[in-house]
Amino acid sequence: MKVERKRGLVEAPHVKDDVVVIDVLRAFTTAAFAFGSGASEIVLVSTPEEAFELKKRFPRAKLAGEVAGRPIDGFDYGNSPAAIARANLKGRTLILRSSSGTQGVVQAVNAERVWLGSLPVAGVTCELLAAKAKHVTLLALGSPHGSGELDGPEDDACGDLMEQLLAGRTPDLALIKEKIQNSPAGKRAMDPAVDWISAEDLECALDYDFFGFAMLVKREKGLCIAHPVGP
């Protein structure tokens, strides 16, 4: 298997074959906990306007997401895995919009298969990829307009972990978690003055292999729809 590392939203349209779009804090941790709370599927969209339009088509769906980190007026939930973990989403469709993660998925138009990457699903995701994939790109998104080595180290850390798992090595989980905690987003989560991300969100993001499923995206009738898949 060939494993490549890519960084930033600008790379999303160019990746091919199997791509893991990584957004640790917080979109794809939120997605994992949404499936854990019973969601049947997650529709990933670019804009709040798209989410509201889809809500008209699927009135029982719930809306979750953020703009610049903050919850969106009219949405049921922010982009908070801790809040989603407490929700009852059994049998529901969740429509998710985020500033980085969902953008990467929507723009990965040349990928054969798109997987959602975060620590809670990293183990099963790598297990499935190791069994079937020939070429995997680990795409660490970081912030939507970020650049350089200091942008999105939490996503790079998840990429490090997945690269090691795919190579059959045992990752240094303590070091991976330390990098996530010390990232700018991790520090914001621990700052009581920041009201849109919480220590609970960070705790969820650090729950390595918490779920026994991966999250696979398929394009269906123009929509990017994620489902949980098992080994």
Strands 223-229 and 111-117 come out as unpaired
Give the residue-averaged pLDDT of 58-77: 96
Say whether 226 sits in a helix, a strand or coil: strand
Q: How confident is the model at residue 146 (pLDDT cuts 50, 70, 90)?
A: low
DSSP 47-61: SHHHHHHHHHHSTT-
Instruction: Give the structural domain span for 104.
Output: 2-229
Q: What is the pLDDT of residues 100-112, one digit of tens each?
A: 999 999 999 999 9
CA nearest neighbour of 32 among 113, 70, 89? 89
Contact 158, 176 (CB under 8 A): yes
DSSP state of 193: T
Provide the token pair at 13: 């349209």
Q: How confident is the model at residue 150 (pLDDT cuts 50, 70, 90)?
A: low
Check residue 231 and give its pLDDT: 84
Q: What is the pLDDT of residues 196-220, one digit of tens each?
A: 999 999 999 999 999 999 999 999 9
Give the residue-averaged pLDDT of 15-35: 98
CA distances (Å), origin 73, targets 47, 52, 62, 114: 13, 11, 13, 29
Provide the token pair at 89: 């989403």
Q: What is the mean pLDDT of the chain?
A: 95
Q: How confident is the model at residue 148 (pLDDT cuts 50, 70, 90)?
A: very low
CATH number of domain containing 176: 3.90.1560.10
Give the residue-averaged pLDDT of 67-93: 97
Say whether 18 sits in a helix, a strand or coil: strand
Can you tell me the distance from the alpha carbon of 94 to that of 115, in angstroms, rounded to the nearest whole number?
A: 17
Domain count of the chain?
1
